Amino acid sequence: MIIGIESIGIYTARYVIDLGVLADARGVDPAKYYVGLGQEMMSIAPLNEDVVTLGANAARLALEKVAAREAIGTVIFATETGVDQSKAAGIYLHNLLGLGCNCRVVELKQACYSSTAALQFAAALVARQPEHKVLVVAADIARYGLGTAGEPTQGCGAVAMVVSSEPKLVELEPHSGMYTEDLMDFWRPNYREEALVDGKLSARMYISVLEKAFEDYRSRSGVEFKDIDEFCYHLPFTRMAEKAHARLARKFGGVVLRPEEAVAQIGHSLDYNRIIGNSYTAALYIGLASLLDNNEDDLAGRRIGFYSYGSGCVGEYFSGRIMEGYGEWLHTEHHREALAGRVNIGIEEYERLYREKLPTDGSEFITPKHRVGCYSLVGICDHKRIYESVGE
């Protein structure tokens, strides 16, 4: 039996700001963001879009070509932008998508890493019950303070993947390399809306954990750097992945890559992130969708190495093989339409949207009606979030 990713759908928010506009407003050379961070734009969510609506839009797409939708027996929702301390965001999504009641739903958290835990747990469930399909959803809204160093590395997005014993896109290989260490490089206490981050430490740890997780992966799997054809990295910003790839190539492949060579090797996995920004748990797998959608070569049979990093910190390196005929199962046009359909905003609108907040005392509130995808957060009533399907 093989187990892997049967389908993938991605989604991002309604608005987008060009990082050149942000740079001008902050008195920064735009090249710092465009070249130094490797980012061009970041998606901005209005109040009526949250991780539930972003995730539901991605999942709607992921489920479109999936046979036997009733076989979805588990929904795992990975996020660090949880909407409730108790109730899983996935239950709202499960309802919006009209999934069957004989289904387990749970939410997972460990910074940007939990989507990978979700994928591995899903594969284990399918190994136990091969007729079972698992819907893995990862969605986040990355927020740092206005005017902080982290501000240009915001963004938001969602990815949904169906994991099953009928993978049409990627067969997951069984070996993983793992690394965990108690570290304060990025965290968000319950009383804060913006994360606290030691950005330089997080960037150093991203690379050092990559080396440790890869070492564990190669010793468990026997797979060497030279045996990997394509690479997907967690993407807080694209320059981070380019640097990490150059380090991996040097340390484990004995190859010294010039920056443009590193970009060429991982290039298409970066395309979507460069114009979406960081989407925390979703970023690595939006990178996978980007690689599959945008690479003009037939990638069938090629091995992909995945590096997942979540501050705090946990890292995992694992791999998969791209399936024959994967191209016909992709949603490339929908993905491109969602990205191209975003509305460009200026600095005043961005700051206004940033400052808009839901009430924190549970009082009745109707969210402003921004045109969004198929699902919208209508408001809050009696401390309860109200969602609706709105069509496109």
Q: Which residues are catalytic?
A: 80, 112, 234
Q: How far is the CB of 181 from ligand COA (least distance, A)?
A: 14
Among 53, 116, 202, 290, binds ligand COA (CB under 6 A): 202
3-state class (DSSP) for residue 71: helix
Task: Report the distance separating Cα 10 and Cα 93, nearest Å.
Answer: 15
Q: How far is the CB of 376 from ligand COA (least distance, A)?
A: 29
Q: Is 149 in the site for ligand COA (CB under 6 A)?
A: yes
Q: Is 311 in the site for ligand COA (CB under 6 A)?
A: yes
Which residue do the tokens 């400052």 mark?
Answer: 355
Q: Is 31 in the site for ligand COA (CB under 6 A)?
A: yes
User: What angle is formed at CA 74 by the lines to CA 70 and CA 76, rounded to 5 degrees?
Assistant: 135
Closer Cβ to ligand COA, 29 or 224, answer by number = 29
Q: Is 197 in the site for ligand COA (CB under 6 A)?
A: yes
Q: Which of residues 312-371 bind ligand COA (CB under 6 A)?
A: none
Among 26, 32, 220, 334, binds ligand COA (CB under 6 A): 32
Amino acid identity at 26: R
Count how many Cα atoms sit within 13 Å of the Cα of residue 352 in the half-sphere of its side chain.
7
Distance of CA 6 to the CA centre of its chain: 17
> Interface mask (CB under 6 A) for ligand COA, residues 240-259, using x and -?
x-------------------
Count of residues in contact with ligand COA, rule CB under 6 A: 19
Of 79-87, 158-166, 200-208, 355-363: span binding ligand COA (CB under 6 A): 200-208
What tokens appear for 217 in the block?
Answer: 């992966």
Q: Is 36 in the site for ligand COA (CB under 6 A)?
A: yes
What tokens appear for 119 in the block?
Answer: 């994928």
Q: How far is the CB of 133 from ligand COA (least distance, A)?
A: 31
Task: Report the distance separating Cα 161 and Cα 168, nearest Å.
Answer: 11
Question: In 3D, which of 160, 154, 147, 10 has the Cα closest to residue 72?
Answer: 160
Among 23, 203, 358, 378, binds ligand COA (CB under 6 A): 203
Distance from the first to the final alpha carbon of the chain:
39
Closer Cβ to ligand COA, 44 or 299, answer by number = 44
What is the 3-state secondary structure of 318-363?
Answer: EEEEECCCHHHHCCHHHHHHHHHCCEECCHHHHHHHHHCCCCCCCC
Q: Is 153 in the site for ligand COA (CB under 6 A)?
A: yes
Binding site for ligand COA (CB under 6 A): 29, 31-32, 35-37, 149-150, 153, 197, 199-200, 202-203, 206, 236-237, 240, 311
